[in-house]
């Protein structure tokens, strides 16, 4: 434990800014993964245990696209769209066969794909750590905000995630498709009674959720090292985020993700050995005091 470092940081504006930005990028990446998880759960009532693999695919797709084309924008697009397609195939081909069955079966199917996807990555890209490298456009002087160092890429990352959150929130609230998705979350029978193809909705939601996780992976690629299995810890953290925020709640995912991000970045100063533990501790406190999460509906 190193509480002096923590209080020292909290009283220095430079350190405060640096740690907050690093907390924000952790939080934003987690949000993109968690919001897909929570959306899929809300509509399909399954927890996509292989969601972390989509994050991993997003990162690898982005890296390869960037190496081949040199275009950062294309790399982000490849990360999101590529994983969305995998998500669609995964849902239509496999997950759709275990809806309404034991949770155990759903977990097993996802578990199988976690194993398969990790090995596919190992086959195609190799087992060693990879790095995409910072795109040249962002290899510029970092910004100094109140004495704190903030790499410009961090700002882009936070911006993209925020835009994604806004588009998603507004899309669900305002558009026709959004309304259908929300209706499907409440009452799947009613949607099919209205003559809307639920298979299409389910596939679409899975693709959307997968694509968001892929986008998160792509955004993370320049600042994280890539390795098979990199998705798993992200999955667990996103799950913790959804538990804290409340399953099925998008606002909950945002708040939960930011809280976890900040806990991680400031916790690493005060409790370097127990940073993960802090996160779990926080989850347990929320679970015990509010079992359905901060923004969850009563008795989900």
Distance of CA 127 to the CA centre of its chain: 23
Tell me the helices (H) and strands (E) count for the chain, helix number first: 12, 2
Closest separation in Å from C-beta 110 to other proteins: 10
Q: The tokens of 275 are what? A: 């940073």
Closest CA to 168 of 219, 213, 233: 213
Residue 271: CB minimum distance to other proteins, A? 10
Q: Does 5 bind other proteins (CB under 8 A)?
A: no
Binding span for other proteins by CB under 8 A among 115-123, 136-144, 169-177, 193-201:
115-123
Smallest distance from other proteins to CB 153, Å: 27
Q: State yes or no: residue 129 binds other proteins (CB under 8 A).
A: no
By the rule CB under 8 A, 234 interacts with other proteins? no
Least CB distance from residue 35 to other proteins, whole Å? 17
Q: How does DSSP classify residue 274?
A: S
Q: Out of 123, 137, 166, 167, point to the residue binding other proteins (CB under 8 A).
A: 123
Binding of other proteins at residue 138 (CB under 8 A)?
A: no
* The binder of other proteins chosen from 54, 90, 113, 153 (CB under 8 A): 113
Q: Using the CB atoms, write b or e for 93-131: b if 16+ within 10 Å.
A: eebbebeeeeeeebeebbeebbeebbebbeeebeeeebe
**What is the nearest approach in angstroms of other proteins to the Cβ of residue 11?**
27
DSSP 209-263: HHHHHHHHHHHHTTTS-B-TTHHHHHHHHHHHHHHHH-TT-HHHHHHHHHHHHHH
Q: Smallest distance from the beta carbon of 232 to other proteins, in angstroms?
A: 7
C-alpha distance from residue 81 to each of 58, 59, 85, 201, 210 (Å):
9, 12, 6, 17, 9
Binds other proteins (CB under 8 A): choice among 108, 146, 170, 173: 108
119 binds other proteins (CB under 8 A): yes
Q: Which residue has tokens 């900040």?
A: 262
Which span sits near other proteins by CB under 8 A: 11-19, 21-29, 179-187, 237-245? 237-245
74 binds other proteins (CB under 8 A): no
Q: What does the H/E/C string look like for 56-67?
A: HHHHHHHHHHHH
**Is beta strand 148-150 parallel, antiparallel or unpaired with respect to 143-145?**
antiparallel
Which of 136, 93, 137, 132 lies closest to 113, judged by CA? Answer: 93
Report the nearest approach of other proteins to the CB of residue 297 (Å). Answer: 13
Residue 112 makes contact with other proteins by CB under 8 A: yes
Which member of 81, 107, 196, 262 binds other proteins (CB under 8 A)? 107
Q: What are phi and psi of 78, to 5 degrees?
A: -60, -40
User: Of 195 and 298, which CB lies nearer to other proteins in the complex structure?
Assistant: 298
CB 157 → other proteins: shortest distance, Å?
25
What residues between 271 and 300 interact with other proteins by CB under 8 A? 273-274, 276-277, 280, 283-284, 287-288, 291, 300
Which residues would be at the binding site for other proteins (CB under 8 A)? 41, 47, 94, 97-98, 101-105, 107-109, 111-116, 118-120, 122-123, 232-233, 236, 239-240, 243, 247, 273-274, 276-277, 280, 283-284, 287-288, 291, 300
């Amino acid at each position: 434990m190193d509480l002096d470092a923590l209080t020292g940081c909290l009283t220095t504006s430079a350190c405060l800014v640096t740690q907050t930005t690093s907390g924000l990028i952790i939080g934003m990446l987690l949000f993109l993964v968690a919001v897909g998880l929570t959306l899929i759960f809300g509509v399909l009532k399954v927890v996509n245990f292989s969601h972390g693999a989509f994050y991993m695919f997003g990162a690898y797709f982005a890296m390869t696209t960037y190496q081949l084309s040199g275009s950062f924008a294309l790399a982000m697009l490849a990360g999101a769209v590529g994983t969305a397609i995998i998500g669609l195939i995964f849902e239509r081909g496999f997950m759709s066969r275990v809806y309404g069955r034991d949770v155990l079966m759903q977990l097993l199917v996802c578990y199988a794909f976690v194993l398969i996807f990790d090995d596919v990555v190992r086959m195609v890209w190799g087992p060693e750590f990879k790095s995409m490298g910072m795109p040249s456009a962002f290899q510029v002087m970092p910004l100094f905000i109140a004495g704190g160092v903030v790499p410009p890429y961090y700002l882009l990352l936070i911006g993209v995630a925020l835009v994604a959150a806004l588009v998603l929130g507004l899309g669900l609230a305002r558009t026709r498709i959004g309304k259908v998705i929300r209706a499907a979350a409440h009452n799947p029978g009613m949607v099919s009674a209205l003559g809307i193809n639920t298979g299409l909705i389910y596939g679409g939601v899975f693709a959307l959720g997968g694509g968001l996780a892929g986008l998160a992976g792509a955004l993370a690629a320049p600042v994280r090292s890539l390795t098979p299995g990199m998705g798993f810890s992200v999955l667990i953290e996103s799950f913790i985020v959804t538990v804290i925020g409340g399953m099925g709640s998008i606002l909950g995912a945002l708040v939960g993700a930011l809280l976890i991000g900040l806990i991680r970045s400031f916790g690493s100063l005060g409790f370097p050995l127990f940073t993960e533990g802090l996160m779990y501790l926080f989850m347990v406190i929320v679970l015990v005091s509010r079992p359905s999460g901060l923004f969850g509906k009563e008795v989900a």
